Amino acid sequence: MSAVSLFLTSRWGPVITGISVGVLAPLLVFWGNPGNMGICVVCFTRDIAGALGFHRAGVAQYIRPEIIGFVLGALVAALVFKEFKPRTGSAPLVRFILGMFAVFGALVFLGCPWRAYLRLSGGDWNAIFGILGLVVGIGIGILFLRRGFSLGRNRPAPKAVGWVMPVIMVVLLVILVVEPQFGRDAEGKLTGPIFFSTTGPGSQHAPLIISLVVVLFIGFLAQRSRFCTVGAVRDAILLRDSRLLYGLLALIVAAFVTNLILGQFHAGFANQPVAHTNGWWNFGGMVLAGLAFTLAGGCPGRQMFLSGEGDADSAMFISGMLVGAGVAHTYNMASTAAGPGVFVPFIVVTGIVVCAVIGLTMREARV
């Protein structure tokens, strides 16, 4: 087991993780997930927000086991390799806000960095604008890091703190299996408090057991290899360290090949699944997301894996994502396949300003 761990923490770890994601994510689409959405951490968080009734976009409501598996897979790896270290105290409120704005940006593009690369490898050329925006956003974040930006130090916390997010995930899993329906709508039909889409992307999903096993495996690998789709670009630029970048490139190549084999590669801009063709806002949305993820220290997947290790600050970021997804869909700030929502320009500009203020003002406070 320790040999496996050594291998995964070596230079090859991210490559193995990237290949695994690149093969398994298109397979999840093949097994029932929405197009080019084998894994999308933001979309799936948004679906969970919808299932819990935080927004009423009827086509985006499902408790995605992929999110649950990410956290629990990382938890298992952290427990096995004695890396479960509960910690908190590094500007949790700011991380919550960054989580909200990261989701606002990603829901303009319609995908987190994971899905941006998966969309690219499925032939969705709109993703090129999103990825360019992501790189620009990460670049702006690096400028703040070089100027001394820091969210401050965390501190070791009681074990119970580290268990909060894993327990929430277990509760979500129970809700997903039980599907409690004890509310009544105006016509007296059973409804809520948990909502599941009957049409649209929220209704498309691979069988529960398959999704869960796949993402438990990915969560385990990613915790060991420190896989991060934002850190990959950040470390290559900032530290001239390409370890994570090779993992990202492996993901794109493996997903491209797998999509070709499965007949899921369709090149073009128009008629791509769960996507719109507005290049400007695809770019702008991901500038905001890339900046927010960089300031928070990693992509949404990495935040899930860290929360599985007991990092309660990452758990706050995820909580911000959940609330942000509810807000975005309630106030028309998210895009749909038809195009950007009414308030997209407002929220992207506001978000970049808010992140810039955070980037300029947050410094390590002297103790």
Binding site for another protein (CB under 8 A): 9, 83, 85, 87, 89-90, 145, 150-156, 226, 228, 231, 234-235, 238-239, 241, 243, 297-298, 313, 364
CA-atom Rg of the chain in angstroms: 19
In angstroms, the CA 128 to CA 119 distance is 9
* Least spacing, CB of residue 22 vs another protein, in Å: 23
Tokens of 162: 């580290």
In angstroms, the CA 21 to CA 307 distance is 20
Q: Which is nearer to another protein, 8 or 63 (CB)?
A: 8
Q: Which is nearer to another protein, 218 or 233 (CB)?
A: 233
* Least spacing, CB of residue 324 vs another protein, in Å: 20
Q: Count CB neighbours of 332 within 10 A.
A: 15
What is 250-288 written as a DSSP string?
Answer: HHHHHHHHHHHHHT----BSTT-TT----HHHHHHHHHH
Q: Which is nearer to another protein, 81 or 256 (CB)?
A: 81
Q: Which is nearer to another protein, 8 or 327 (CB)?
A: 8
* Least spacing, CB of residue 13 vs another protein, in Å: 10
Which amino acid, residue 239? Answer: L
Q: Which is nearer to another protein, 212 or 222 (CB)?
A: 222
* Least spacing, CB of residue 78 vs another protein, in Å: 10
Quickly tell me which residue has 């040999």 as its tokens. 3
* Least spacing, CB of residue 237 vs another protein, in Å: 10
Q: Which is nearer to another protein, 248 or 255 (CB)?
A: 248
Q: How far is CA 248 from the centre of its chain?
A: 15
Nearest partner of 264 among 17, 44, 32, 107, judged by Cα: 32
Q: How far is CA 37 from CA 105, 111, 116, 362, in A?
A: 17, 8, 9, 35
* Least spacing, CB of residue 150 vs another protein, in Å: 6
